[in-house]
Structure 1
């Protein structure tokens, strides 16, 4: 095993996948997590259901949400690219998810209501495994903890960074030379050759770098004021007949939507989402009224026929934030930033875990090709590039909700109009258009796919001759 030691700050998905990559190289790695007792469930909302999960760390078979993931009780979509990347990092995890109760589904079987109507239904598209965030994190954490040389240390609150003098003396107060010291509250400092900040959107790394002489990174925040309210329901996986789940997007002019997805334990996670004055309430009557006021009654019909479990939980921290460490003139050796600590997205688009997994693959490539001087700075740039497309998707949609005051370039406006045209083709049954949109949404293709000549021809033909009839409403079961 290598004598090098790494420290990862944060045991969320970005931190765990980063530790998996580093641990697989033979380096010793310590993961510092401020939450306590990550392997032991501490109770759960009453009647949350009987699950089929893996045992330890669960209550009634269902892993508990981490305190550091306030959105952990809300539905999560692990995009196809994210599922593929995690399977590459931790082979066999897909099978473990399904064995633990995760529900495999095809996105072509989702009832998907977009801005211009229902997406085509019933044709194969991209595979997903629908599971709760706590279950996904529990299984990933268990796999990472089994790696030689990996230590998961809970209850470790980091208060700052410093460096030793050439690896031997006390902290110098600068970022040059020596080993890193990760300073913790109520614990001795942890020395490291490599420190990775994966502490999420609340990262305090900019504050920690200031005393080391490193300037604050330029930070961009886009906040459309979205809020969530979620509830767990008991219902069989075929509660909707042949429909695998429901996604109703909030769109300009109708900034309220929701989602219903099956998860482990015979449960469904239902979330209502809205922007600003349209955010869903916490009380059951208000929650039901919110669903009844959506563009389509599908979600309200679903909840009326299912059995509610536990209380309604809310989540309000949905702003997009990007810290441009790649633009700093100086970057210290032995320091990286991953996941939401680098670039965080509005969770409504389901991109966070997928981007973290993609960045972990980039880290693996960098470690495999050799760590020449300055490799950290070069990798930071690649990690930012991996966030470019999801950032454009998330902020582009959110800026449409913000309104006329949103700063949008002429090129972005033009591309947005064309994307809307492709969406219109899809809503009228054009499968090529739908799959092109799917590939971008699931981060397996580039926006260039939206410019296929066949789509250009279909748009022109539609403008001249008219479009076919809109795609029909999916065959949602209405009674049981």
Structure 2
């Protein structure tokens, strides 16, 4: 391994994929390596248009408060710049949210979320990353496999091919980070090197997003800036979310689980919105002018690869983001989970001595489950509320669902419960906060009332 007297861990690290995880990892790695090469299959444009390889970018994306904290820490002043570019920050009290058969109380929570197109968010982060003096980009470049030491115990680089050019070897690097997304080829490449197959868990939900942008009507007046009508499991399978985005537009995402998907024609799309548990979204957009076509993104289910459980794993390889754990996008946790994984990587890097990378990959893969515990369990608990969704229910699952139902029922009129829920949803606090003595007492002593529809 190579390093220098200034505390650098090595000369060169390669990040595969310009996903949010890849961009944030590049920023963190630039602190500890002399050079970072970001490899991306798509052409990277200096504009907010979504990448071809990121089809979900055309759909609703809200950055949770904890993810925003991480990005602001890595890029001071970022959200001032993002808002100036059109991002729409919103407090929980700005949202009208129909959930578990009731409208949540409109309580001030202090929790701010940022709504904008994913293309705008990615572009602004990418601009910050590519401005770093020790970052180099290889776009329009596809990876074909890992290069290793002769005994295959350490990854030393990648086999790459840029569009229109012969395959080349980018070898002699100190660390490779795979942030290439859900379609990561690391499982196959490791098997080809003689490593065991990585075990994975898939919670098959057959989710589809159908989304469309609208021009916000100039005469539109409402008590909300964000509007969400959620399904009520186990019977309800449809939801819709309407959010403000840049250029005075809305983005509407209609989502269906277990193949109960919205139609792609205009009349069917609007009818799906009209048939949600509450018609408020339909009422808002029925006369609004569309600002683009209806686009579709299908998501088979949450997927987690258990690299932490592998008996053997090569040195100098880190896997993170959706390449490691891809969460049901309904819950909006993906970017924030990736940001927290990157901060764990940063902590692991800080524990390495100058020029010493031995043990880094093993430490990261063993510790990352602690970061994924909360988002994975939150998504799992919601998904497994549907009996048709296959997967092992955790011990006490029935009690958890009973408590959650009472908690959400209480959130229709108790601001303190809403504040607790907002902090957990935005990953600012552990779910244990919703079982604190104060909230537990409220839940257990509240008078039960049937959800209103």
State if a TM-score over 0.5 links the two structures. Answer: yes
Alignment of 1:79 with 2:64, yes or no, is yes
| Structure 1: runs of 5 or more not aligned | 40-55, 58-62, 165-171, 474-480
Pairs within 5 Å for 1:90-109? 90-109=75-94
RMSD, aligned α-carbons: 2.0
Contact preservation (8 Å) 1:109, 1:124: no
Q: 1:324 to 1:281 in 2, by over 3 A?
A: same
In the aligned structure 1, how far is the partner of 2:219 from the partner of 2:84? 18
Residues 156 and 175 in structure 2, CA contact (< 8 A), matched pair in contact too: yes
Q: Give yes or no for contact 1:251–1:401 (8 Å, CA) kept in 2.
A: no
After superposition, the Cα gap between the structure-2 partners of 1:317 and 1:404, relative to the gap in structure 1 and judged at 3 Å, is: closer
Is contact 1:223–1:319 with CA below 8 Å preserved after alignment?
Answer: yes
Contact 1:224 1:402 in 2 (8 A): no
Instruction: Say if 2:163 is the partner of 1:188.
Output: no
Report how many residues are paired.
Answer: 437
What SS does structure 2 have at the residue aligned with 1:64? coil
- Which sections of structure 2, spanning at least 5 residues, go unmatched? none
d(CA) in 2 for partners of 1:271 and 1:435? 25
Say whether the 8 Å CA contact 2:204–2:389 is kept in structure 1. Answer: no
Tell me the distance in 1 between the aligned counterparts of 2:440 and 2:27.
Answer: 44
Residues 53-452 of structure 1 aligned to structure 2 (within 5 Å): 56-57=46-47, 63-164=48-149, 172=150, 174-177=151-154, 180-185=156-161, 186-191=166-171, 192-235=173-216, 239-252=220-233, 253-370=235-352, 373-403=358-388, 406-427=391-412, 429-452=413-436
Distance 2:85 2:191 in 1: 45
What is the CA–CA distance in structure 2 between the aligned matches of 1:102 and 1:459, rounded to whole Å? 36
Which is worse superposed, 304-313 or 284-293? 304-313
1:373-430 Cα shifts (integer Å, max 9, x gaps)? 3122111222222111111111211111243854213323322221222111112x11
1:202-227, CA deviations, whole angstroms, 9 ceiling, x for partnerless residues? 11101011122211111000011111
CA distance in 1, matches of 2:169, 2:20: 24
Distance in 2 of aligned mates of 1:383 and 1:212: 24
CA contact (8 A) 2:159 2:170 kept: yes
SS in 1 for 2:36: strand
Asked if structure 2 preserves the Cα contact closer than 8 Å seen for 1:106 and 1:125, the reply is: yes
Listed one character per residue, the Cα deviations across residues 236-276 of structure 1 (whole Å, up to 9, x for unaligned) are: 69945331211112232111011011111111110100113
The equivalent residue for 1:19 is 26
In the TM superposition, residue 325 of structure 1 has moved relative to its aligned partner by 0.2
CA contact (8 A) 1:33 1:153 kept: yes
Q: Give the CA deviation at 1:470.
A: 7.8
**In 2 relative to 1, CA 26–425 (structure 1 residues): closer, same or farther, beyond 3 Å?**
same
Task: Name the CA distance, whole Å, in 2 between partners of 1:96 and 1:455.
Answer: 37
Matched, 1:30 2:42: no
Q: Using the alignment, how far apart are the partners of 1:351 and 1:214 within structure 2?
A: 31
Separation of aligned partners in 2, 1:275 and 1:319: 10
Partners of 1:318 and 1:132 in 2: how far apart? 23
**How far is 1:318 from its partner?**
4.5
